[in-house]
């Protein structure tokens, strides 16, 4: 079974009970078997966005520690591809974490992603493959 990519929006929605998408994110993350794969940029964004919620950044890091969130991505191997994605999707604009996830899809041969970011409907991995958004967008 191919791994599932994990984006910042799904982590924030899952841990922030005030988020309008909390229930959908909680169900999506509960239904999937770990590990989920992500990158350090997503972990950093999530911790930053959740810093006002007591214990949330620590919960993100605890999921990395216990192996529920795995980080197989190494930027040094893929920096030119990540830069190419940033250029290609500059009009959306793609952020650094998005570009890393696009590259991870190529490396891990999967387009399955937990995200609330509608830009992933436009991004392509392996040049022309669409992402499969596991949390339906409203």
Domain ranges of the chain: 5-133
The token duo for 127 is 């040049």
- Ranges of residues in the chain with a pLDDT under 50 are none
Q: Please report the pLDDT score of residue 136 as a whole number.
A: 85
Question: Which of 3.40.50.2300, 3.40.50.1010, 3.40.50.970, 3.40.50.720 would CATH assign to domain 5-133?
Answer: 3.40.50.1010
Largest CA distance in the chain: 41
Partnered with residue 38 across adjacent β-strands are none
pTM over 0.75: yes
Query: What is the CA 52 to chain-centroid distance, rounded?
Result: 20
């Amino acid at each position: 079974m191919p791994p599932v990519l994990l984006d910042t929006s799904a982590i924030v929605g899952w841990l922030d009970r005030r988020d309008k998408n909390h229930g959908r994110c909680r169900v999506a993350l509960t239904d999937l078997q770990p590990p989920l794969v992500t990158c350090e940029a997503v972990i950093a964004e999530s911790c930053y966005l959740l810093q006002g919620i007591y214990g949330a950044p620590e919960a993100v890091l605890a999921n990395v520690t216990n192996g529920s969130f795995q980080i197989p991505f190494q930027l040094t191997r893929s920096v030119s591809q990540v830069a190419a994605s940033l250029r290609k999707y500059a009009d959306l604009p793609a952020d650094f974490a998005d570009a890393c996830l696009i590259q991870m899809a190529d490396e891990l041969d999967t387009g399955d992603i937990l995200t609330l970011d509608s830009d992933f409907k436009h991004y392509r991995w392996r040049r022309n493959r669409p992402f499969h958004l596991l949390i339906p967008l409203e």
